[in-house]
Amino acid sequence: MKGKVRNNILLMMTAFIWGSSFVAQSAGMDYIGPFTFNSVRCLMGAAVLLPVIKFLDRQKKTVGRIEKGKEIKENKKTRKKDRQSLLLGGCCCGVILGVASSLQQVGILYTGAGKAGFITALYILIVPVIRIFLGKKAGFKIWAGVALAVVGMYFLCITKGFAIGKGDLLVCICSVVFSLHILVIDYFSPRTDSVKLSCVQFLISGVMCAVPMLIIEKPSLEEIFAVWLPLIYAGVLSCGVAYTLQIIAQKDTDPAVASLLLSLESVFAALTGWAILGERLSAREMSGCVLVFAAIILAQLPEGKTDKIPVISCHTAFCIRCVWRYSRIANPIFPMKSPIC
């Protein structure tokens, strides 16, 4: 029970870091291009994890000295298999992460940070839909959530001329790719070391984004140093800390519960976008955000009687209610009354 509570707290921390990192991503591109930003922050994330890996390896060696010889021999037999899983998982996660983060970064050039946060959060709905093709069933709530999200996306992204903005479209595609990222992590995280997996995926993603950075953008060191603060926040916290927390917490957490908690990312993105960047959403866009978020919560509610609903779901709903109530009092960005409150 304590382990589940700890994992839930780690996932909520991840959602906050990710949500607030939309602001860093938006601010960072005032001086450098999207591929430069992604490459530098991913490489920074990988570098931050190296001393952590070394420290954990030392601890494992200390424990290994007091183990029996038979157990140590068995560990040596599985070492090669673990290394293969690490390399394969790191490469798969890194490539998918590189594609998703690049789509998101380019999309933020043409849309707001708060709006991008809500569109990105659609991966919570997309994950259970993709699992249908993997032999998992989807209940009525999933399809109801999808229908509600489609209406919400219409209000959020579609203009009066029935056209979708370039940035919104790119972030929508990014959401699909992030859905694949969650499923791949769910597969590999129990099979290899979490921190090493996170480090390898950032290294692969950083090198991958460095190719278009050097060919297309060709940044100077002065331009990179000009955005040192957003890069540190996005690299150290969003990459080095948040993704690692996600991998660690997902080991013993159901993917549906994990995606529910990570959906708070969109709320944190809207709040930090208002607080730091002064972004404002129109009444139409705000209606779309409410519908998308309601769809996300609906799709992740457990089937069956209400007494089977996990405690964390109720706690999360309470947190959402408090966030909305604070936003209504603190700022007119949310002029409409939230149905959640």
pLDDT 10s digits, 146-191: 788 778 777 777 766 556 788 888 988 999 998 899 889 888 888 8
pLDDT digits (tens, 9 = 90+) for 92-124: 999 999 999 999 889 888 887 777 877 877 777
Note whether 125 and 296 are within 8 A (CB): yes
* Residue range 38-65, pLDDT digits in tens: 999 999 989 988 887 887 777 776 655 5
Residue 135: alpha-carbon gap to chain centroid: 25
pLDDT at 312: 33
Residue with tokens 């038979």: 70
Read off the pLDDT band of 69 (50, 70, 90).
low
Encode pLDDT of 277-333 as tens digits: 777 777 877 887 788 778 877 776 666 543 333 333 333 332 322 322 223 223 333
What's the rounded mean pLDDT across residues 260-269? 74
pLDDT at 320: 29
d(C-alpha 166, C-alpha 168), whole Å: 6
- Per-residue confidence (pLDDT) for residue 28, from 0 to 100: 84
| pLDDT recorded at residue 88 | 93
Q: Is 167 exposed, middle or buried (0-12, 13-18, 19+ CB in 10 A)?
A: buried
| Tokens 């380019």 found at | 106
Q: Which tokens belong to 329?
A: 């009092």
Q: Among 102-116, 137-151, 189-203, 230-244, whose mean pLDDT is lowest?
A: 137-151
Judged by DSSP in three states, 164 sits in strand
Average pLDDT over residues 88-93: 93
Do the beta carbons of residue 14 and residue 247 sit within 8 Å? no
What phi and psi, each to the nearest 5 degrees, are found at residue 160? -65, -30
pTM of this prediction exceeds 0.95: no
Where exactly are the structural domains of the chain? 2-330
Rounded CA gap, 125 and 140, in Å? 13
- Give the mean pLDDT of the chain: 75
pLDDT on residue 318: 28
The length of the chain is 341
Q: What is the pLDDT of residue 75?
A: 62
